[in-house]
Structure 1
Amino acid sequence: MAKKVLADIKQDLDGYVGKRIRLKANRGRRKVIERVGILEQTYPNIFVIKLDEKKCLGRRVSFSYSDVLTETVELSLCREDGDKKIVCGER
């Protein structure tokens, strides 16, 4: 059951590869990072975002699909008319 949910999240994110994404990640102890980047690639267990902000240009960060499931990482699609939260794994 859990593997199917994670596979659904991966499948949902596959449609956003190459798109500009805003990520909000809870790193623990009241430390939350917010960055903007491109969803570069999805792999069987992780996905990679290439950051494009000036202070971290070209740096890549990776997260697991379970981070999305537990809401440790929140993803939003960057659009001209405002960000749209990406909801994954819900059917």
Structure 2
Amino acid sequence: MAHNIASIKEGLKERVGSRLTLTSQVGRKRQSEHSGVLTETYPAVFVVDLDQSDHAVERVSYSYADVLTHSIELAFVDEEEPLFG
């Protein structure tokens, strides 16, 4: 199934308030994994509130293009497969 920015925006808008695990590419062969809650969606970015016990940063934001280009992967807790994987 082909994805585009509009379908990613719509998919995330429907899941605001859901818990997720976020895997981001940090370097060449390194990944960083965070867990939190998808709190807001905006026209160009979406915001995730991270679990405080795990991270020094409270919130992170990513563009929808990051999801499209697989710079980050989103896996919602209530779903078995990653979103837009």
TM over 0.5: yes
SS state of the match for residue 4, structure 2?
helix
Aligned to 1:40: 39
Structure 2 runs not aligned, ≥5 long: none
Contact 2:52 2:58 (C-alpha < 8 Å) held by counterparts: no
Q: Which residue of 2 aligns with 1:10?
A: 9
Give % identity: 37
Q: Which has the larger radius of gyration?
A: 1
TM-score, scaled relative to structure 2: 0.84
Q: TM-score, normalised by structure 1?
A: 0.79
Q: Is 1:86 matched up with 2:78?
A: no
Cα distance in 2 between the residues matched to 1:35 and 1:20: 11
Q: Which has the higher helix share?
A: 1
Give the root-mean-square deviation of aligned CA atoms. Answer: 2.2
**8 A contact 2:47–2:60 mirrored in 1:** yes
Partner Cα distance (2:17, 2:9) in 1: 14
Q: Is the 8 A contact 2:17 2:38 kept in 1?
A: yes
